[in-house]
Structure 1
Amino acid sequence: MLSLHGWAVVKGVFFELVCTDCNGSGWVVEGSRLVLSLEELVTQLSFKLQRAQSQIEALSGQANLGGPQQQYQESNRLGAGGTNYTGD
C-alpha cells in the first residue's frame, strides 16, 4: 500500500530542502520507511494523473449544463467592439 504522507522536503536551517530519501516525491510505502524506486514512482504518479484528468473531465462536463453563469463563459459578441455583453 502506498502513502503520500511525506512532505517531499526537509527543514533546513534557513529554508526547506528537497528530501533525498524519497527523491523529493513524498511517496513512501505505508507502514514503513521504505521509499519507492524511480520506476515505481513514475507508474504511481501516472495513475494519479490519469485519475485526476478523468475527474477534471467529469467536472468540466457538469459545468457546461447552462444556467445564468453560461452568459459569462461564452462570448455573445453583442457588446462594444464585439465583446461579451451580459446586461449587467
Structure 2
Amino acid sequence: MKKSQGPAFKKAVIELAQCPLCRGRAVTQGVFHELPCEHCNASGWVVASTGGSLTLDELVTQLSMRLQSALRQIEQLKDPQASWPEETYQGCNRRGAGGTNYTGD
C-alpha cells in the first residue's frame, strides 16, 4: 500500500559532503576577518549529490541523524564482541550432553 498524502513515515537520510567553498570550516576568509560561509549556511556541509545547501531545519535533522549513527558506531567499537572461536570456547554454547558447554577438546 503506497502512501499518497502527508509527510513520509521515516525521514530520509541525505548524503552530506564538505562544502567546496569553505572546505568544511563553515567560514570564509574576508579581507580582514572570517565571514560565515553563505553557500552552506555556515555549517560546512552541503548535499553530496547536488552541492546545494540545506535549509536550517533540514540541516539540524540530518546532522542529528549523523551524530546518532556515529555514537552507535562508537559504542559498538567500545564493546567488541569476542571472535567466533573464542566466543564458542569461553561462553556457554549448550551443545554438549544434557545442554552443557561443549568446547571440542
1:2 partnered with 2:2: no
Alignment map for 1:40-59 (pairs within 5 Å): 40-59=58-77
57 and 20 in structure 1: CA distance in 2 versus 1, 3 angstrom threshold: same
Partner of 1:17: 35
Shift in Å at residue 52 of structure 1?
0.9
1:67 maps to: none
Larger Rg: 2
Identity %, equivalent residues: 50
Structure 1 residues 25 and 17 mapped into 2: Cα distance closer, same or farther (>3 Å)?
Answer: same
Partner AA of 2:75 in structure 1: E
Per the normalisation by structure 1, the TM-score is 0.56
Q: Pick which of 26-35 and 41-50 moved more.
A: 26-35
Rounded to whole Å, the distance in 2 between the matches of 1:58 and 1:2 is 22
Distance in 2, matches of 1:25 and 1:10, equals 11
Higher percent of residues as helix: 1
Counterparts in 2 of 1:58 and 1:18: CA distance versus 1, 3 Å: same
Which aligned segments of 4 or more residues in structure 1 are displaced greater than 6 angstroms? none
**How far apart are the structure 2 equivalents of 1:46 and 1:12?**
30
Alpha-carbon distance in 2 for matches of 1:30, 1:52: 18
Q: In structure 2, what residue type is equivalent to 1:18?
A: P
Q: Which runs of 5+ in 1 are unaligned?
A: 63-88
**What is the TM-score when the length of structure 2 is the normalising length?**
0.48
The 1-side partners of 2:33 and 2:64 are apart by 30
Out of 41, 44, 48, which is 1:26 matched to?
44
